[in-house]
């Protein structure tokens, strides 16, 4: 597949034309949770435009097979390429765990997942090398976090746990609720007892529960997620491939969903303070 030239001349209002690549960064998630990654990208790379696709018609991915998640991810990637994406960010832990190699192998653009950046954040944060990971069933079952963590530091001890009840609670907007606290406690107590000092929030929805988790775990456990490190990885990738957006002007954010938005969009919108504009509806 051929894409437009990555280096486009841009009139910056001065005498010398600035050059840059104004094509958007394509970002996708199984739903709205990946907007946590978009929020970090917007903060770090305000000049970059972003086209975000949330596959709300088929969410959740967390209980689906690897073959299905790979097929969905490739379909979405084709849509993003149709939007001229210059690089693709898989803002979903489940899709990163199950489909990243397939995407990297088959797509004509670079692809960044969220697992490795999350593992990097954990290895940088831990003092006792005892790391907990929470995520969807599919993410935990894949062992992707263990592989990434051990590749960064073979001495780390890891306790990983699937937390399938968290995504529905978050989507319901129960970010601050005694029921959510109970569920969190049930999931996290064994990890605390195991002596972790760092917890990876291995699902793009979970940063929305950060205040509740931090309150429950206190200050002995550092919470890390992929969002900031993922945004930094994209920044580095764009700079090293001369694909950075033109310096003048603000990047735009286009959000598209595969099913009409529900109340969760408002939850994410309020929690992340993103300007979402008009939401497009796209079929895959
Ligand atoms: N966004 C997904 C992830 O990060 C969680 C939701 C789902 O199960 O699809 O794993």
Residues near ligand 1 (Cβ within 6 A): 29-31, 33, 59-62, 92-94, 136, 139, 167, 203-205
Ligand 1, residues 37, 53, 61, 163: which to mutate, most atoms within 8 A of Cβ? 61
Q: Which residues share a beta bridge with 54? A: 29, 257
pLDDT at 102: 96
Residue 92: active-site member: yes
CATH class for domain 25-113+229-281? alpha beta
pLDDT at 271: 73
Report the alpha-carbon distance of residue 98 to residue 70 in Å, rounded. 7
CATH 3.40.50.1860 domain span(s) along the chain: 25-113+229-281, 116-226
Relative orientation angle of helices 144-152 and 93-106, to the nearest 10 degrees: 80
Contact of 221 with 242, CB cutoff 8 Å: no
Place of tokens 């002007």: 249
Place of tokens 């291995």: 202
Ligand 1, residues 34, 54, 55, 62: which to mutate, most atoms within 8 A of Cβ? 62
**CATH fold for the domain made of 116-226:** Rossmann fold (3.40.50)
Number of C-alpha atoms within 13 angstroms, CB side, residue 116?
Answer: 13
| CA R_g for the chain | 19
The series of mean pLDDT values per 10 residues for the chain, 284 residues long, is: 42 52 96 91 95 94 94 98 98 97 97 96 97 96 97 98 94 91 97 96 92 94 93 96 89 93 77 81 92
**What's the pTM?**
0.89
pLDDT at 191: 95
Residue nearest to atom 5 of ligand 1 (CA): 203
Q: What angle do CA 167, 107, 282 make, to 5 degrees?
A: 50
- How remote is the CA of residue 96 from the centroid of ligand 1, in Å? 10
Choosing from 59, 88, 92, 166, which is the catalytic residue? 92
Contact of 225 with 206, CB cutoff 8 Å: yes
Residue 163: active-site member: no
Query: What number does the ligand 1 atom closest to the CA of 61 have?
Result: 9
Q: Residue 169's closest CA among 214, 222, 117, 209? A: 209
């Amino acid at each position: 597949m051929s894409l437009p030239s990555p280096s486009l001349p841009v009139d910056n209002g001065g005498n010398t034309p600035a050059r840059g690549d104004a094509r958007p960064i394509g970002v996708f998630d199984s739903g709205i949770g990946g907007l946590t990654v978009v929020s970090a990208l917007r903060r770090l790379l305000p000049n970059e435009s972003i086209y975000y696709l949330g596959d709300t018609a088929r969410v959740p991915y967390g209980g689906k097979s690897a073959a299905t998640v790979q097929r969905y991810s490739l379909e979405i990637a084709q849509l993003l390429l149709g939007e001229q994406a210059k690089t693709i960010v898989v803002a979903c832990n489940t899709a990163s765990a199950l489909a990243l190699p397939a995407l990297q192998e088959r797509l004509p653009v670079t692809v960044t997942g969220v697992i490795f950046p999350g593992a990097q954040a954990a290895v940088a944060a831990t003092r006792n090398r005892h790391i907990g990971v929470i995520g969807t069933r599919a993410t935990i079952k894949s062992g992707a976090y263990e592989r990434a963590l051990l590749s960064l530091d073979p001495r780390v001890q890891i306790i990983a746990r699937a937390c399938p009840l968290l995504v529905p609670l978050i989507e319901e907007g129960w970010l601050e609720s005694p029921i959510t606290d109970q569920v969190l406690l049930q999931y996290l107590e064994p990890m605390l007892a195991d002596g972790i000092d760092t917890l990876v929030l291995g699902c793009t929805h979970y940063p929305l529960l950060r205040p509740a988790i931090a309150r429950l775990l206190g200050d002995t456990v550092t919470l890390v997620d992929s969002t900031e490190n993922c945004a930094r990885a994209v920044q580095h990738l764009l700079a090293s491939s001369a694909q950075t957006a033109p310096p003048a002007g603000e990047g735009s954010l286009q959000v598209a969903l595969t099913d009409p938005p529900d109340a969760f969009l408002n939850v994410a919108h309020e929690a992340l303070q993103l300007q979402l504009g008009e939401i497009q509806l796209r079929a895959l």
